[in-house]
């Protein structure tokens, strides 16, 4: 049985945090909220505890975990060789949705890094997560607290859905804010490389670093996975996803056309609309994922909406694309992956008269 401990997000009750930390200290796993998504944590320095994370999630052992810390100084005993870019990044973005990859020290077990000689480090900006790590007294390794292959959980209910009965305890701190996972940036080369777009944007990183690359693996045409986890189809809903890109007027027409086509084929169709387009559609199950003028709302709702369509049992989700600037890059990255790169260009679709 899984115990659910409700905790106040802003002022986490000491005794509740202590209760959850006791599980970690005893070598158990604990699901807990962060500002991005819920994590499934264990003592990062205890290989046996870390193995329980992989078992509960059904996660492949070759996909390394992020080590969560409660103070920036902790990187000094977990990692070595810090490039100059480390300090300004940490100063600007920690605590927050940025994970940095550095050469690891001996103390980090290979179960955490999947045999790599580098380690992923993050100080989350969530009072519950920070208090939990402090109370435990060691760094906490944690992937997202979903079953492998499911969208990351942005509410305790999602964790319950995926992992109830498989883990001893869930700290319920309500909904997460960012809604997408942290940005992962590799600092081990000459130029920092974004391996996964997330809560901290490319534009923000560039303004601090000057020079920053985006892993070419993030472009569908050259889809060569580099972060070990990127080869797995994360965020995949049960339904097939068709992602429609292009100019907004055309996206609207094409989403409606594809929805009708799929319905005619006998499919149950969900349309992932936005505030701006919600009223335009007249077929299928229509849900607004957020406001195009405020794309962080789309990031925040994305995984919950995908789960909602799955719960409603739709066969096909037709999703509107958004601009790939700011947080839009991370949103589109998750949508592209969810679609298995089944992306329709609205302009080309209309020209071909399909
Ligand atoms: O926001 C987040 O990052 C959430 C919360 C819980 O902190 N965590 C999360 O963990 O999304 P996970 O395991 O779902 O994703 C971690 C990503 C994976 O793509 C993994 O392959 C990559 O980080 N990663 C971890 N260690 C790495 C390393 N040493 N080198 C390259 N990539 C690494
Ligand atoms: Mg994950």
Residue 286 has pLDDT above 50, yes or no: yes
**Model pLDDT, residue 306:** 97
**Model pLDDT, residue 341:** 85
Longest dimension (CA), the chain: 63
Summarised one tens digit per residue, pLDDT across range 46-100 is 999 999 999 999 999 999 999 999 999 999 999 998 999 999 999 999 999 999 9
> Ligand 1: which of 189, 215, 229 to mutate, judged by most atoms within 8 Å of the beta carbon?
229
Summarised one tens digit per residue, pLDDT across range 294-352 is 999 999 999 999 999 999 999 999 999 999 999 999 999 999 989 988 899 999 999 88
Residue 221 has pLDDT above 90, yes or no: no
Summarised one tens digit per residue, pLDDT across range 87-140 is 999 999 999 999 999 999 999 999 999 999 999 999 999 999 999 999 999 999
In the structure encoding, which two tokens stand for residue 180, read together?
């997408």
Distance 253 CA to ligand 1 centre (A): 37
What end-to-end distance do the CA atoms of the chain give, in Å?
A: 52
Residue 45 has pLDDT above 80, yes or no: yes
> Ligand 1: which of 184, 196, 226, 303 to mutate, judged by most atoms within 8 Å of the beta carbon?
184
Distance 64 CA to ligand 1 centre (A): 7
Tell me if 116 CB under 6 Å of ligand 1: yes
Distance 223 CA to ligand 2 centre (A): 19
Q: What average pLDDT is seen over the chain?
A: 94
Tell me if 63 CB under 6 Å of ligand 1: yes
Q: How far apart are CA 267 and CA 269, in angstroms?
A: 6
CB 253 within 8 A of CB 346: yes
Residue 218 has pLDDT above 80, yes or no: no
The complex's ipTM works out to 0.99
């Amino acid at each position: 049985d899984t115990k659910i401990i409700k905790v106040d997000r802003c002022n986490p009750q000491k005794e509740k945090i202590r209760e959850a930390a006791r599980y970690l200290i005893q070598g158990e796993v604990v699901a807990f909220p962060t500002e991005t998504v819920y994590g499934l944590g264990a003592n990062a320095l205890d290989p046996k505890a870390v193995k329980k994370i992989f078992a509960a999630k059904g996660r492949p052992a070759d996909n390394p975990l992020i080590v969560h810390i409660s103070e920036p100084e902790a990187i000094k005993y977990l990692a070595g060789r810090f490039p100059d870019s480390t300090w300004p990044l940490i100063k600007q973005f920690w605590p927050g949705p940025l994970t940095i990859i550095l050469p690891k020290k001996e103390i980090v077990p290979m179960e955490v890094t999947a045999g790599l000689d580098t380690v992923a480090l993050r100080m989350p900006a969530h009072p519950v997560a920070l208090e939990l790590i402090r109370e435990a007294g060691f760094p906490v390794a944690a992937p997202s607290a979903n079953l492998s292959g499911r969208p990351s959980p942005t509410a305790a209910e999602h964790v319950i859905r995926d992992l109830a009965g498989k883990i001893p305890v869930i700290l319920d701190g309500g909904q997460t804010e960012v809604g997408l996972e942290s940005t992962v940036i590799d600092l081990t080369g000459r130029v920092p490389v974004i391996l996964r777009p997330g809560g901290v944007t490319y534009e923000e990183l560039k303004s601090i670093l000057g020079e920053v690359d985006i892993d070419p693996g993030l472009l569908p045409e050259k889809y060569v996975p580099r972060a070990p986890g990127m080869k797995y189809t994360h965020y995949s809903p049960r339904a097939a996803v068709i992602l429609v890109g292009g100019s907004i007027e055309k996206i609207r027409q094409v989403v409606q056309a594809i929805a009708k086509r799929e319905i005619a084929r006998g499919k149950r169709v969900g349309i992932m609309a936005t505030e701006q387009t919600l009223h335009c559609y007249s077929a299928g199950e229509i849900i607004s994922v957020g406001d195009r003028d405020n794309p962080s709302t789309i990031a925040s709702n994305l995984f919950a909406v995908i789960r909602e369509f799955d719960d409603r049992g739709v066969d096909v989700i037709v999703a509107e694309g958004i601009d790939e600037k700011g947080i839009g890059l991370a949103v589109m990255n998750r949508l592209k992956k969810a679609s298995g790169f089944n992306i329709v260009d609205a302009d080309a679709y209309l020209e071909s008269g399909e």
